[in-house]
Amino acid sequence: MGLQALSYPIMGNAPDQFYTLRGYALGDEKAEKKVYLQAALHADEQPGMMVLHHLLALLTQADARGELKARFVIFPMVNPLGMSDLQFQQHQGRYDRFTGVNFNRQWPNLAEAIQDEIASQLTNDASANVQVIRQAVKAWLDSQQAITALQQQRYWVMQQAYDADLVLDLHCDNDALPHIFTVPQSADMMQHLSDWMGAVATLTAEDSGGGSFDEVWTSLWFRLAQAFPDKPIPQATHSATLEYRGQLDTFDHLNRDDAERLYGFLQSQGFIAGRLIRECPPKTPAATPLEATEFTKTLMAGLLAYRVELGQQVKKGEVLADLIALDGDEAFIQRTPIVAGTDGIVISRNTHKYVWRGCSIAKVVGKENLASRGKYLLQD
């Protein structure tokens, strides 16, 4: 089939502002399966862009050999609005400047949008129900009036992702080890991805509270299954957010290896044929609830002095970092310890060491749910 270029226009919110969302499609348009991948939804997170750069080359070669068993749609830079957010020679890219919305928050609840529409159309045929649901989603998308630049961008993205069997959103943390966010219903498949990816943690939640992009696609199916328990509705889409280390980890050799690992996972799931690109990797830790991960925060502004490394196992009460005071009578002298609130492994830290009140300075992945986590489980 060859590499097909995709290009979608986005009208800016002010006169003479124009953007273009660019991507690629490969594989048979009539293939039974579809894989959707994107990177840089948070536009200041670029490792995923490099991963997809290398994955595109691998997929193009596989396509030439006739080994693609699915339709692939890939947006290596899915957020042109955020990529243009440059201020004082610094790139931002996490929030839409027009609305203030985090680009990976407040995506729609599709189950709620189509539930009434499909109620009378569902049957006892699971495959037929999948088609009914996807057709209803497509009709709902087509009916939306995308006015702002953000709405237009999301419209084009959802038009390509709505009928995918696998949706992967490539991100990174600040300074971190590889990890995954997904829903419990996708944990089995994502365990295989975790192994291939070499992830140190897979964090699960049915609803993280933020309406993140990856949750749109999986929640559609299990929410409808809960709403219509007498009808067979399978988990037709599996999706996840893949955190490829930290913001400074964009390197050819490193992300080429990530791409090969991702390619191997896709082979293992039957989306690509041919001999495995490498041997099956060793097992990684089993999934744990996101509620068991502590986002350790500061109570005041200061300068961080870490005492722990990424991947280090810590105990509750162990000092993760000292916060050096920057104001008051003991400015630049006093050191206040910041301690872990749970036993677990440190998977992320801050690259920038100047922090402010309420700033998250580490993620510690434990095994026991923390009452302090509340309903909003994400770092905004």
User: pLDDT per residue over 187-212, tens digit each?
Assistant: 999 999 999 999 999 999 999 999 99
Please tell me what DSSP assigns to residue 367.
S
Contacts 24+ apart (CB under 8 A), 302-308: 302/326, 302/336, 302/354, 302/355, 303/353, 303/354, 303/355, 304/350, 304/353, 304/354, 304/355, 304/361, 305/335, 305/353, 306/349, 308/346, 308/349, 308/362
**Do 139 and 155 share a domain, yes or no?**
yes
Rounded to whole angstroms, the Cα distance separating 121 from 231 reads 11
Residues 271 and 299 in one domain: no
pLDDT recorded at residue 314: 98
Give, for 240, the enclosing helix (H) or strand (E). Answer: strand 238-246
The answer to whether the CB of 286 falls within 8 A of the CB of 194 is: no
Strand ranges inside 86-216, DSSP E? 86-87, 90-91, 166-173, 175-176, 179-182, 201-204
Residue 191 belongs to domain spanning: 4-286
Split into its structural domains, the chain has a count of 2
pLDDT value at position 345? 98
- Tens digit of each residue's pLDDT, the chain (380 residues): 689 999 999 999 999 999 999 999 999 999 999 999 999 999 999 999 999 999 999 999 999 999 999 999 999 999 999 999 999 999 999 999 999 999 999 999 999 999 999 999 999 999 999 999 999 999 999 999 999 999 999 999 999 999 999 999 999 999 999 999 999 999 999 999 999 999 999 999 999 999 999 999 999 999 999 999 999 999 999 999 999 999 999 999 999 999 999 999 999 999 999 999 999 999 999 999 999 999 999 999 999 999 999 999 999 999 999 999 999 999 999 999 999 999 999 999 999 999 999 999 999 999 999 998 988 999 88
pLDDT of residue 379: 84
Four-CA torsion 67, 23, 209, 323, nearest 10 degrees: 100
Q: What is the CATH classification number for the domain harbouring 299? A: 2.40.50.100
Indicate whether 306 and 162 sit together in one domain. no
Q: Which residues contact 276 (CB under 8 A, 6 or more apart)?
A: 264, 267, 268
User: What's residue 380's pLDDT?
Assistant: 82
- The rounded Cα 173 to chain-centroid distance in angstroms is 11
Give a yes or no: residue 41 inside a domain: yes
Task: Return the bridge partners of 365, or none.
Answer: 293, 345
Q: Check whether residue 299 and residue 329 sit in a common domain.
A: yes
- The answer to whether the beta carbons of residues 207 and 376 sit under 8 Å apart is no
What φ, ψ does residue 28 adopt, rounded to 5°?
-65, 125
Q: Are residues 298 and 272 in the same domain?
A: no
Amino acid in position 375 = K
Mutual angle of helices 149-161 and 213-227, in 10-degree steps? 60
pTM: 0.97
Claim to verify: residue 250 and residue 315 sit in the same structural domain: no
Do 229 and 130 belong together in one domain?
yes
Q: Which residues pair with 345 in a beta bridge?
A: 313, 365
* 378 lies in some domain: no
User: 198: left (phi > 0), else alpha (psi -120 to 50), else beta?
Assistant: left
Listed residues 286, 307, 334: the one ending a domain = 286
Q: Rounded to a whole number, what is the distance in angstroms from the first to the last CA of the chain?
A: 41
Whether residues 177 and 325 fall in one domain: no
Same-domain check for residues 272 and 305:
no
Residues 59 and 83 both lie in one domain: yes
The per-residue pLDDT for 1 is 67
